[in-house]
Amino acid sequence: MRKIGLLLFIVSIFLVSCKEVVFYNSLKNFENSIWTYEDIHNATFEIKDTTQVYDLYLDVIHNASFEYQNIYCKLNTTFPSKKTTEQQLPINFANNKGKWHGQCGTSSCKLRVVLQQNVSFQEEGSYQIAFEQYSRKPALEGIQSIDFIIKKVD
């Protein structure tokens, strides 16, 4: 009986130590599952420790009937120094055979897009990130939400 108790204790310590540490997340739900050009997702977060390492993700929830294999969005970043950058970000929802990436249920799918891994921010202060839909259509039907997530790396 003591062996089982010790084993359960070790397993619980392992599970607690492996828990992901979310530093920041910012969720945007789209009305009627339509992401338009006007629906810009703005996220603002503070960095105080420039030695900390992070992983950056974008979780996209879309309908299982979403009609596109991929889309583009713009990623605009404003640094504490007021310097700005703009990037195009491709988001690939399915492979060439139409099989969805990510986790799918009967009505929706969750796709995790890795933006950057093992990154440290070079400036202390407030960062602003804006995600804009940047496809050929002004309204993408089937995108339910996007969630910008920053996780601390131990």
pLDDT tier for residue 79 given thresholds of 50, 70 and 90 = very high
- Other C-beta atoms closer than 10 Å to the C-beta of 146 total 25
Buried b (16+ CB within 10 A) or exposed e, 85-121: eeeeeebebbeeeeebbeeeeeebbbbebebeeeeeb
pLDDT digits (tens, 9 = 90+) for 96-136: 998 999 999 999 999 999 999 999 999 999 999 999 999 99
Average pLDDT, rounded, for the chain: 90
Contact in structure between 5 and 120 (CB atoms under 8 Å): no
Q: Is the pLDDT of residue 16 over 70?
A: no
* 35 burial via Cβ count (<10 Å: 0-12, 13-18, 19+): buried
For residue 123, what pLDDT is reported? 97
Tell me the residue type at 49.
D
Distances (CA, A) of 25 to 21, 22, 64, 84, 147: 11, 7, 24, 21, 7
Percent of the chain with pLDDT over 90: 86
Q: Which fold has domain 21-152?
A: Jelly Rolls (2.60.120)
pTM for this predicted structure? 0.84
Please state the φ and ψ torsions of residue 119, each to the nearest 5 degrees.
-110, 145
**What is the distance between the alpha carbons of residues 83 and 86, in angstroms, rounded to a whole number?**
11
SS3 14: helix
